[in-house]
Amino acid sequence: MLSYRHAFHAGNHADVLKHLVLLELLGYYNRKEKPWYYIDTHAGAGCYALHSEQADKTAEFAEGIARLWGCDDPPAPIAAYLAAVRQFNPHGRLLFYPGSPALAMTQARAQDRLRLFELHPADFESLQRTFNTEQERVQVRRADGFGALKGLLPPPSRRAVVLLDPPYELKEDYRRVVDTLRDAMRRFPNGTFAVWYPMLARADARALPERLAELGAESWLDVRLAVRQPARDGFGMFGSGLYVVNPPWVLPQRLELALLWLVERLGVEPGAGFDLEHHIE
């Protein structure tokens, strides 16, 4: 149950897509002075050393953030994402990759708050260390984020971005993410919820986007980035997606150019591409 460690996957193509969208959401929320909450149900360790034993074992960042690091003149959303990652690499070398909470913190103002959940004991301790000087704005709890989320909705500010990013190692994660989103939409209809999901050959992974759509959100966006064709043996993640409830109206246009650019740099086979669907009221 607690075997998943994101350090093996930090900075891969899925992180690029997920964090690009996350920064776009928080950047839009920053257009108003009113405070926001960032809630992360599966926060991970906070920040990852890319040349640690874990990261070097898979070196997935080599097909993700490393391919973008030295690029000139990226689209504005990509430039903002790279600028955020560079805050953790001040000397120019790509040595560290920030997780979702650390990237969210780059956008947080004095009035904003982060609420982070992580079950893995080692990752929880690392997350605590990452934010040990920010206890006024950031609360870190060792808890099941699926269950803990309901106690935070709606937040006092009535403005929040909630990231549901489970590892999907357990089959029940596919059910729980749908059930959790259904309950969250009921408790906080105006919240912005982003569900990350893997693109895999397995049936429950293929069915997840449709199950999320069946929840009936009035405003939604579904973005997917594939970097290769599905393997013939059905093994491995060939892309990923995010389903966003109550996305900003500007998000589709900003993502489209960024995704075209990403496919050219992250795609490793002719099967690479992206899908972007939305209905925003």
Amino acid at 94: L
Which residues is 244 bridged to in the sheet? 194, 221
Q: Which two tokens stand for residue 262?
A: 């990403």
And the tokens for 229? 């064709």
Q: What is the CA radius of gyration of the chain?
A: 17
Strands (E), 165-245: 192-199, 220-226, 239-245
Q: Give the span between the Cα atoms of 261 and 268, in whole angstroms.
A: 13
Query: DSSP string spanning 86-117?
Result: HTT-TTSS--EEE-HHHHHHHH--TT-EEEEE
Question: What are the C-alpha distances in Å from 242 to residues 42, 104, 112, 124, 254?
Answer: 15, 17, 24, 24, 15
Question: Residue 125: enclosing H or E segment and its boundaries?
Answer: helix 121-130
Phi, psi (5° rounding) for residue 108? -75, 135
Helical axes 251-266 vs 76-86, angle rounded to 10°:
70
Q: Is 165 a catalytic residue?
A: yes
Strand partners, 37: 113, 160
Q: Which of 15, 40, 112, 165 is catalytic?
A: 165
Q: Which residues contact 31 (CB under 8 A, 6 or more apart)?
A: none
Would you state the structure tokens that stand for residue 15, as one six-digit string? 């992180």
The residues assigned a catalytic role are: 165
